[in-house]
Amino acid sequence: MRKIRVIALAAALLASTGAHAQSAGDFVANLGWFHLSPQDSSKPLTVNALGTSVTESGTGASVDDSDTFGITGTYFITDHIATTAVFGIPPKFHLSGTGSLAELGQLGSAYEWSPTLLLKYYFNDAQSHFRPYLGAGGSYVWYSGVKLSQAVSSGSYLYSSTYGTALEGTTTAKLSSSFAPVINAGFAYNIDKHWSVDASLSYMWLSTRATLTTHTAEAGTVTSTTKLKLNPIISFVSIGYRF
């Protein structure tokens, strides 16, 4: 009987310390680092001036990688299904010219805001150390702090052999907002009942329309537009705490 009691006590202790992972009703907060790697492409620049619209073939732009600090909050609806809200300090992206715009170098920069909501499915049971997951959701994306280089803000990029400097002037830019679908895959490794580490990869279908508005003395208002596809691959490594 004494041996049975000892075995039962040991089993109870193991059960009490074995609940490493997340279960229904738990909330997990994660702090970590995002790396965003755009798989970018762009349409040629279309210039609207003097009642005509001209597509400048050979023009393009590319977007550099960016890093930022992020936070996520995950609520477990069941032992396997959870919702995750994703926030972070907006990353700063730099835009550089390609093709015939390459000689201009950096065209400008902007901060991207993209709060995201994901629905995830966690594999393995709620007592497992290792829990891979798959997720999908969406993000609403907008931009702030748009800053143009001298070549763009002065409108000098609009110089042409036909119009000379007639289309040049003070230029401002606007990037359109949009909803973007997101898919996500990763894993959580639970160190103990409170602490865990997490690593994930996400893909976001993201595009924006850039509109440049130039005010000129000779040609009135000139608008130049292009569509940028960013489609970033986003990696996130973090430390989590379960409440």
- What separation, in Å, do the N-terminal and C-terminal C-alpha atoms of the chain show? 38
Q: What is the CATH number of the domain that holds 78?
A: 2.40.160.20
Say how far apart CA 142 and CA 174 lie, in whole Å. 10
**pTM value?**
0.86
Q: Number of structural domains, the chain?
A: 1
What does the pLDDT average to over 11-27? Answer: 63
Q: How many CB atoms lie within 10 A of CB 114?
A: 23
The pair of three-digit structure tokens given for residue 69, joined into one six-digit string: 């600090």
**pLDDT tens across 173-183, in order?**
999 999 999 99
Instruction: Round to whole Å and give the CA distance between 116 and 71.
Output: 11
3 state SS of 2: helix
Determine whether 1 is exposed, middle or buried from the number of CB atoms within 10 Å of its CB (0-12, 13-18, 19+): exposed
User: Does pLDDT of 19 surpass 70?
Assistant: no
Residue 15 identity:
A
Q: Domain residues for 64? A: 2-242
Q: Is 164 left (phi over 0), alpha (psi -120 to 50) or beta?
A: left
Distance CA 120, CA 228 (A): 29
Task: Encode pLDDT of 186-233 as tens digits.
Answer: 999 999 999 999 999 999 999 999 999 999 988 899 999 999 999 999
For the chain, list the strands marked E by DSSP. Answer: 27-38, 41-42, 45-49, 52-56, 59-63, 66-76, 81-88, 92-99, 106-113, 116-122, 130-148, 170-175, 178-190, 195-204, 207-215, 221-229, 232-242
Q: Which of 128, 133, 237 is nearest to 193 (CA)?
A: 128
43: buried, middle or exposed (CB in 10 Å: 19+, 13-18, 0-12)?
A: middle
* pLDDT of amino acid 51: 86
Q: Concatenate the DSSP letters of all residues of 17-48 into one string.
A: H---S--TT-EEEEEEEEEEEE--EEPPEEEE
Query: 20 pLDDT band (50/70/90 cuts)?
Result: low
Q: Report the amino acid identity of residue 77.
A: I
pLDDT at 22 (0 to 100)? 81
Q: What percent of the chain has pLDDT over 90?
A: 78
Instruction: Express each pLDDT in 110-135 by its tens digit.
Output: 999 999 999 999 999 999 999 999 99
